[in-house]
Amino acid sequence: MVFSGITFLFYFLPAIIVLYYIAPKKLKNLVMVIGSFVFFAWGEIRYFPVMILLSIEDFVCGRLMEKYRSNEKRRRIFMLISVCSNLTVLLIYKYTNFFVGNACAIMGIEVIKLNIILPLGVSFNCFQSISYAIDVYRGTTSCEKSYYDYLTYTTLFPQVIAGPIVRYVTVENDLDDHMLTRDSLSAGMRRFTVGLAKKVLIANNVGYIWNLVSTGHAGEPSVLLYWIGITAYTFQIYFDFSGYSDMAIGLARVFGLTFDENFDYPYISRSITEFWRRWHITLSTWFRDYVYIPLGGNRVSKVRHILNLLIVWGLTGFWHGASWNFIIWGLYFAVILICEKYFLSKLLDKLPSFVRRIYTLLLVMISWVIFYFEDMGALVNYLKGMFGFTGVPLFNNGSLYYLLGYGLIFIVAGYFSTPHFKKLIDYAESSDKKRVWIGASAAYIAVFACCVAYLVNSTYNPFLYFRF
């Protein structure tokens, strides 16, 4: 079965929310766990027993680390058991075919493809469990005393397939307190609606354009058509991923949980350094806290610092997928960040903001070409086409048709990629004027209805981050 998170949400979410709100405080986590069980059964149940066994092991290791708090050696052993177990599961499920395929290619034999299905949310789930083990080891947080509550944390269905990466310390108190109010329910549903609209009304529409261009079904190619295509993908991946993050954050609010923000309008960045402070924030901070800083961060020699950046960003790329293009994508950003750190920062500071934003967006769009194409030949050809090295015309009738026909959706996507609309939302939500509140409520209901109508009638509803 092809998993559809949105289908699950419309079939089961209302029932789960109702049960959660009427359940006694002691049973609320049970409702969350049941919801997560149904979620995984709906998507891919074969990984679920593995996740349960991992959660038991992580919980036991956490308790033992707490027990041997004064014994550094034993504490480190239990931390390593937990971390290595999660990494082993991640490597087996996500990267076995990559390593086997490359080994076959090196030995010159036919590539063997093993029938290993990537489980739902394995990347996010393992990274959350690793962060828990390391935080307990460091003493950043105490271990969870109840396996029941830990299971609630490690199986949180709102975010397990698309983030944000939730650290235990973030929701530790929420799992016990269940601070549910009418305001949290209202705020959560509004945030969920915004995320749903991002995904359904914007990401899906621009994604349709990219699908036509990337598969060669958009007609005769031209330089303009290549740029139209990658512009569409640039918007698609942002609105798809940030939309799912918004839905997860909104659902968390509905259930009385607070998740960290995952996006902060990354396409307005004025450098790649700033871009990665705004894009997939919980992933970049995860690698910073659990890989980059333990390697020494920037408190080392220049050569070692450069090596640290290459390691971290190579791993960041590899986390996204078991293919060489993801590693190249990560190293691509590593090189740019190194250049900005040691060569370009002073020059960039002297440039006007709009020039810096163009510079950043251009580099980001090139990165999405690397990110998308696993086939190296297709990747190189697309980049060559963008810059006119394939002999195609600058533009043709087909590319002008797409520019005029889909220009409005690009303008809308560009506008919603900036903080301007958020200011309007903040005003509507903070206003004490009744007519403003009524108007905003009507707008949310109308947007939600449009999303439902679109989902009912549309057959194009891809989920980009399913494979991660």
> DSSP class of residue 297?
T
Q: How far apart are CA 239 and CA 231, in angstroms?
A: 12
190 within 8 A of 429, measured Cβ to Cβ:
yes
> DSSP class of residue 27?
G
Encode 61-71: b = buried (16+ Cβ within 10 Å), e = exposed.
bbbbbbeeeee
Active site residue 305: no
The backbone torsions φ and ψ at residue 144, rounded to the nearest 5 degrees and listed phi first, read: -80, 130
Cβ-based neighbour number of residue 423 at 10 Å = 10
Q: How far apart are CA 448 and CA 468, in angstroms?
A: 27
Query: In the structure encoding, which two tokens stand for residue 175, read together?
Result: 């799992």
141 within 8 A of 172, measured Cβ to Cβ:
yes
Q: How far apart are CA 194 and CA 188, in angstroms?
A: 10
Q: Check 178, 305, 320, 420 and give the catalytic one.
A: 320
Half-sphere exposure of 154 (CA within 13 A, CB side): 27
Query: In the structure encoding, which two tokens stand for residue 459, read together?
Result: 């057959």
Element (H, E) at 361: helix 353-372
Count how many residues are written for the chain.
468
264 within 8 A of 202, measured Cβ to Cβ:
no
DSSP sequence for 200-252: IIIIHHHHHHHHHHHTT-SSS--HHHHHHHHHHHHHHHHHHHHHHHHHHHHHH
414 within 8 A of 161, measured Cβ to Cβ:
no
Place of tokens 């066994």: 53
Query: In the structure encoding, which two tokens stand for residue 464, read together?
Result: 């980009």
Report, as residue numbers or ranges, the catalytic residues. Answer: 320
